[in-house]
Structure 1
Amino acid sequence: MTIELAPQRNDRELEGALWRTSTYSGTDNNCVEYSTLQSGRSAVRDTKDRSRGVLVFEAPVWQAFVRGMNDSAA
């Protein structure tokens, strides 16, 4: 079993993030925003409550998540 520790967050990197709303977000205000950071990692946050914080993922973890979501939508 492999245990991965959460990567260290660089708040300065988050300050320069360009956020985009997911194309899967609906019209009922259940939206997420994502950003590809300068480090190559991906960040995700809740659009309606940005104060709740940000989740940051290493590139391979994010890519596996997106592939899994695409597979489940098919």
Structure 2
Amino acid sequence: MDRTSPTLAWRKSSKSAQQDNCMEAADPPGGGRAVRDRKDPNGPVLRFASSDWQSFIGGIKGGAFDTLGY
């Protein structure tokens, strides 16, 4: 995936306010979700299938990651 592709509209969560220590997400052509570190826009991009991304979001909402100690 071309990280600098003009077809990717990167956005960050509205909950992160003015902070730069967050991730950005984009909806790549063909579906799924792409994520990257906002501080390193030319760095690696992770791409997830739609079903995997939905499982991840479901885990967040269900508290699956609440005990990771961060």
**Structure 1: any 5+ residue segments left out of the alignment?**
1-9
Greater percentage in helix: 1
For 1:56 and 1:35, the matched residues in 2 are separated by 9
| Residue 33 (1) aligns with residue 24 (2) | yes
| Residue 62 (1) aligns with residue 53 (2) | yes
- TM-score, structure 1 length as denominator? 0.69
- Counting aligned pairs with the same residue, the percent is 37
- TM-score, structure 2 length as denominator? 0.72
1:45 alignment counterpart: 36
The runs of 4+ residues in structure 1 deviating greater than 6 Å are none
The offset of 1:36, in angstroms, is 1.1
For 1:53 and 1:45, the matched residues in 2 are separated by 6
For 2:59 and 2:18, the matched residues in 1 are separated by 23
Q: Secondary structure at 1:11's aligned position in 2?
A: coil
Count of aligned pairs between the two proteins: 64
**Structure 2: any 5+ residue segments left out of the alignment?**
66-70
